A and B are shown apart, each in its own frame.
Chain A
Amino acid sequence: MTNSKFYIDAGTTWSKILEIQPDGKRVYSVHKTAVARTFEHNYIKVTGHTTNKFAKNYENEVVALALGSKKYLEDDFVALDLGSRDIKWVKYKNSKFSDMDWNSSCASATGATIEMLLKFYDVKVEQLKFSEEKYPITCGIFGLEKIMDDVSKGLEPSVAISKFIHGIAFNAYNFTKNPKKICISGGFCENPCFIESLKNYCEVLPLGRFVLVDGLALQE
């Protein structure tokens, strides 16, 4: 086990780890970042918001996303990573990296906001169903205000959160410049309500939570 190679994408809330064992077997795991910090792995490459950006083995998150998603991308498709607190995307054209954007500190509302809302209203992610309606959430704070207003008027919290998620999906579609297809990376892949909302605007291919660590491992 000690000869395994480890790669980590240490996000604000969750850390995604890839272990490549000596026989080539790949083991993926997700941990709370606070817990992952206690691990004593010697990481070959690290990325993510909570890593030391000046460390020698640090890799830019956009580069990790671009490398990890390249095999899925065709003309005019983009890979979008929607995290706890940031949103970033890359696009390839004719197998060449062509465009990107990264909103690293305020993506209006992202994964952490949804997790807080689910806890606050005691709603399970499985209870969320796609809502035709959406909140305009150019500002996440205004979006939260709308949820609270509607819930106080009697709307089911799960419906209100679904409208909020639809707003996030619409923002993501606009932020990525309205592509034909979006390949989604990150925790939102496990949120069917988000995927269904985004499908309202374009084709969607969920890639899972380990795209960035796969990108790190590709560099070796």
Chain B
Amino acid sequence: MCKDIIGFWGYPHPDIIQKAKDEYKNALWIDLDINYGYKSSKITPDAYCGIIKNIFDNAYFLKDRLIKILAGVGKDKCDAGFFAAHMLKKEGFEVEISYFEDAKPLSSLPDLPICTSNLPLKEKIEKITLNIIENKDYSHLEKSKPRFGFWGVPPNDLKILDLFPNDTHIFGWTRCVEAKNPANVELEMFVQEDLPTVFFAQTFCQKTLLAKYLAAKYNGLYIDIDCIPTNSAYAKIEAFLRLR
């Protein structure tokens, strides 16, 4: 089978992305963080972050087609990303380690047209993650006045995003990604005071700590969801959005 895919997770450093784009002009880029429904690699413990499970499941399923993996392993991702990169290397994958840890002052960050737009929340998040590689200009998007906030990483199951109205603005790590500053903890912890915000983290992710802290501080809703949201998770979000 021909090798035609470059896999990546997190937000690899733009220089590393550009180098791979130049070297493999026709490669297909696949975000290994995303759940494509491939069969389980059974590498991780059962009680483990769903996103890291996706990385292993996707990598093993696509193994024969993967040219290489660009692996975010620094403060821009997490320790589990660091371990995953080293494990996959040991298992014969071509893995290029990436640290993208430069954090700019908030005042010097670019505008965030996707996070603040009136697009459906799911579309916003899809555009932001696709833009890690596509690097398109979205400055034409019209800004919306926010009614709700969504704080967190792109969820394993994007269906919960359908519950939110279009005038939901994005905060947390996803906002950092649009700002091309994925390790900027000051930006990650920035929220708009008085904006009713859902603070989401994947169950078993270290970011649950931040999410719970910020939800308590800003009177938002803290919610952690494992691979598939339960009815209770849907109902909590729905109730929060209806009642606030």
Residues of A at under 8 Å CB distance from B? Answer: 53, 60-63, 66, 90, 93, 96-105
Within residues 229 to 244 of chain B, which ones have a CB less than 8 A from any CB in chain A? 230-232, 235-236, 238-240, 242-244
Pairwise interchain contact A60-B239, C-beta atoms closer than 8 A: yes
Q: Cβ of A96: which chain B residues have Cβ within 8 Å of it? A: 244
Pairwise interchain contact B243-A104, C-beta atoms closer than 8 A: no
A66-B243 contact, Cβ under 8 Å, with A101-B236, A102-B235? yes
Pairwise interchain contact B239-A104, C-beta atoms closer than 8 A: no
**With A and B bound together, what is the CA distance between A183 and B10 in angstroms?**
45
Pairwise interchain contact A62-B244, C-beta atoms closer than 8 A: no
**B219 beta carbon closer than 8 Å to chain A:** yes
Residue among A66, A100, A105 making CB contact with B230, cutoff 8 Å: A105
Pairwise interchain contact B239-A66, C-beta atoms closer than 8 A: yes
Pairwise interchain contact A102-B243, C-beta atoms closer than 8 A: no
Pairwise interchain contact B240-A103, C-beta atoms closer than 8 A: no
Q: Cβ of A102: which chain B residues have Cβ within 8 Å of it? A: 232, 235-236, 239
Q: Cβ of B219: which chain A residues have Cβ within 8 Å of it? A: 93, 98-99
Name the residue on A nearest B239 (C-beta): A62
**With A and B bound together, what is the CA distance between A60 and B232 in angstroms?**
10
Give 26 pairs: A residue, B residue, CB < 8 Å, sorted on A.
A60-B235, A60-B238, A60-B242, A61-B235, A62-B235, A63-B238, A63-B239, A63-B243, A66-B239, A66-B243, A93-B219, A97-B243, A97-B244, A98-B219, A100-B221, A100-B236, A100-B239, A100-B243, A101-B236, A102-B232, A102-B236, A102-B239, A103-B232, A104-B231, A105-B231, A105-B232
Q: Cβ of A99: which chain B residues have Cβ within 8 Å of it? A: 219
Main secondary structure of the interface of B (DSSP, over half): helix
A104-B230 contact, Cβ under 8 Å, with A66-B243, A96-B244? yes
Q: Cβ of B230: which chain A residues have Cβ within 8 Å of it? A: 104-105
**Chain B nearest Cβ from A69, distance in angstroms:** 12
Q: Cβ of A103: which chain B residues have Cβ within 8 Å of it? A: 232
**Chain B nearest Cβ from A47, distance in angstroms:** 11
Cβ proximity bits B196-233 to A, threshold 8 Å, 1 near / 0 not: 00000000000000000000000101000000001110
Q: Cβ of A53: which chain B residues have Cβ within 8 Å of it? A: 231
**Chain B nearest Cβ from A161, distance in angstroms:** 27
Interface centre among A53, A63, A96 (most CB of B within 10 A): A63
List 13 additional contacts besides A62-B235, A63-B243, A98-B219; criterion CB under 8 Å: A60-B235, A61-B235, A62-B238, A62-B243, A99-B219, A100-B221, A100-B236, A100-B243, A101-B236, A102-B235, A104-B230, A104-B231, A105-B232
